[in-house]
A and B are shown apart, each in its own frame.
Chain A
Amino acid sequence: MHHLRLLILFVLFCTHALCSVANAEPDGRDIAVEADRRISGFGDYQARILMILRNATGQESIREMEMSVYETPGKGDKTLIFFNSPPDIRGTALLTHTHGGAPDDQWLFLPSVMRVTRIASDNQSGPFVGSEFAYEDMGSTEVDNYRYRFLREDVVDGETMFVIERYPLNRASGYKRQVVWIDKSEYRPRRIEYYNRADLHFKTLLLNDYRLHVMRFWRSHRMLMTNHQTGKSSLLSWENIDFGVGLRQSDFNPRALTR
């Protein structure tokens, strides 16, 4: 009996090994790693963002933010968002320290009382400031937060795209899976379809207006998230992105929010 089991295992192992060698199909994770590699190494950047929220009847509301991102090599990004409008929340700030694999550390600063409070990290699926973007959509996506599967290659508007599927490993995520279209030419994500826990495709993100910065980094300046269930949409319009600003690490210290 023991020998039979070993034999079966051996055969299975050989089959798997042969399949891997014979299969020229790209690995989903490898694509994600390459896409991430292409946008890494920037050091820091600062951007002014306009977020336009539109409800099902076409009414629009605008929020203005300033985002600063600091890349800690090997450790995960630190993101600081200051809200400029609407005026009653002007000066409110959201600070995030991401850790690939581990939950993010997040703090909220309220200028009226000069108070810095921690936010529960399991709020990732909640809407970011009333928009159709969830907190987990806003944070820099760490490769290690997902499990990947390559689906196929697609041609969209004459461009070849990799289509990969990714499953969030964080159980607090609001999504069961996401399908990501990444263009083959520059490994830029162009379209993401979000599937909720009931495996229903309910949100789509379109990333357009890619511009090359400091001759190296492609950045989407127009991100449109549409919620198919509610008919609402949120547009993130990146007005300008400045790389290599020389941000200080102390700017991302939670205590520094009070200055």
Chain B
Amino acid sequence: MSKAFTTLAASRYPLSALVFLRAMAFTGLAMTALADSPAAQTFDVGGYGGIELRFFPDSALLAKQKQWNPSVILSPQYKYESDENDYSFIFEPFLRIDGNDSKRTHFDVRQLLWSYQGNDWLVSAGFGKVFWGTAESVHLIDIVNQTDFVEDIDGEAKLGQPMIRFVRYFPRGSVELFALVGARERTFPSQAGRLWLPVDTKNMEFRSSRTRVDSAARVTYTLGSLDIGLSWFHGIRREPAIVFTPDSPLATLIYDEIDQFSVDAQGVWSNLLFKLEAFYRLTAQDDYPAVIGGIEYLLSSVLDTRADLSLMLEYVYDQRRNSIETAFQNDLFIGSRLALNDYATTSILAGIITDMEQDSLMWRIEASRRLGDRWRLSLDLQGFPRTNQGEPIHFWRRDGHARIQLQHFF
């Protein structure tokens, strides 16, 4: 029984693909039916399709990992909004087919959300995407959605989360309540994929029912040029506990119940932005705080050009005892973003993260620009020049890479 359960838990897909296709067909039919109805409303088809190629100049730690990694992505988006602007619906499926790693090939429902908006309130149900946070380098408190880690290690790609969300708006802020139905496990590359970590994704410990309802709440308040948020989450952890046992080279992933209280703030003063995120997390293994604080300085119209240059500095501190679980225990981030403010919205972001204690270093450069009206070209470079044994990023010491992506927007 438990074996069947863990096999189900190990499945990457939230629903079987067949049920999914049926849902897509139904939505398509429903939209056609609604399109014929007399009341005016707006339908929108958006999203993108793209191709990606990653090149890893160093040969891998594991023999079966390759240097060239092509993949194809399809992520359309269907939106409906009623004329009165009160009912709305969004459907955003996601599919990646990876040339090397069968675990990087995956399908997800990023959003499948029905919403109704009242005068001062909103209710939504379905698969949703919610972001909490203010920092650039590490998204510390962003816990509602599970991270689609196999997509990118920066933690910005997220899996859809089934939820019921209620928001009440006030003149200066809001109160949000969430019922999060079911918890998802984090995606990891297989041994055939680069940026691999020695975690056992086949036999993870998922200490809960798949249909459990987790809860979260958030209060936001704007005071002049300062936005403050207070949040609470109770449920299955998104960041698994990672435990090495002597009988296996792979670490066991444990998803169990936690409580997380967090605070976030962002403020602006002249051309300085201030950011703060902090949480206190209570888990079965450990209770610990973590905090990230940063500033961003904007040099607009730099050197008499139209370009804007932002300089960023962030510091993250995490007090958990199990240091293998996070790469960011005592780290400094220095970054800069150059936005050319041209029609093509060209931007270049460069940053390094260095561990103050371990003296390790990782860096990243992201550049992108629009081509024509519907295409976007992105180039990312990432390196791990200095890592130490015992740090999670030590497993990536040969995984510095270049990534080129071409997207076509519908």
Contact = CB atoms under 8 A, between A and B. Distances in A.
B348 to A, nearest CB: 15
B71 interface: no
A90 interface: yes
B306 interface: yes
Contact of A61 (B167, B267, B373): B373
Interface residues of B, number: 54
A112 to B, nearest CB: 9
Contacts of B220: 254-255
Interface in A122-139: 122-123, 125-127, 129-130
B184 interface: no
Contacts of A61: 343, 373
Contacts of B343: 53, 55, 61, 130
B156 interface: yes
A119 B339 CA distance: 13
Contacts of A3: none
Interface stretch (B97-105, B251-259, B268-276, B314-322): B268-276
A117 B134 CA distance: 7
B342 A118 contact: no
B308 interface: yes
A5 interface: no
A105 interface: yes
A55 B15 CA distance: 50
B237 interface: no
Contacts of A53: 343
Contacts of B267: 118
For the residues of B in contact with A, the DSSP-based class is strand
Interface string A154-193: 0000000000000000001010000000000000000000
B65 interface: no
A121 interface: yes
Interface string B144-162: 0000000000001010000
A87 interface: yes
A98 to B, nearest CB: 13
A130 to B, nearest CB: 4
B222 A120 contact: no
B281 to A, nearest CB: 22
A72 B178 CA distance: 31
Contacts of A41: none
Interface stretch (B115-123, B197-205, B356-364): B115-123
A215 interface: no
B373 to A, nearest CB: 5
Interface string B164-204: 00010111011010000000000000000000000000000
Interface stretch (A20-28, A206-214, A236-244, A245-253): A245-253
A114 B111 CA distance: 11
A250 B183 CA distance: 31
B130 A258 contact: yes
A119 B374 CA distance: 26
B167 A259 contact: yes
A248 B85 CA distance: 11
Interface centre among B134, B222, B266 (most CB of A within 10 A): B222
A130 B374 CA distance: 17
Contact of A121 (B227, B268, B306): B268
B298 to A, nearest CB: 4
B52 to A, nearest CB: 16
B32 interface: no
B96 interface: no
A259 B87 CA distance: 11
A47 B273 CA distance: 31
A105 B225 contact: yes
Nearest to B298: A120
Contacts of A259: 88, 115, 117, 122, 124, 167
Nearest to A125: B301
A240 to B, nearest CB: 14
Contacts of A250: 119-120, 169
Interface string B113-138: 00101011010100001110110000
A137 to B, nearest CB: 14
A118 B227 contact: yes
B180 to A, nearest CB: 15
A86 B374 contact: yes
Interface in A33-90: 53, 55, 61-62, 85-90
Contact of A113 (B156, B173, B266, B341): B156
Interface of A: 53, 55, 61-62, 85-91, 103, 105, 113-115, 117-123, 125-127, 129-130, 172, 174, 248-250, 253-256, 258-259
9 contacts: A88-B409, A90-B44, A90-B409, A118-B267, A120-B270, A125-B300, A126-B306, A130-B342, A259-B115
Given A55-B343, A119-B273, 12 more contacts: A90-B46, A117-B266, A120-B272, A120-B296, A120-B298, A123-B300, A123-B308, A127-B341, A130-B342, A256-B122, A256-B174, A258-B131
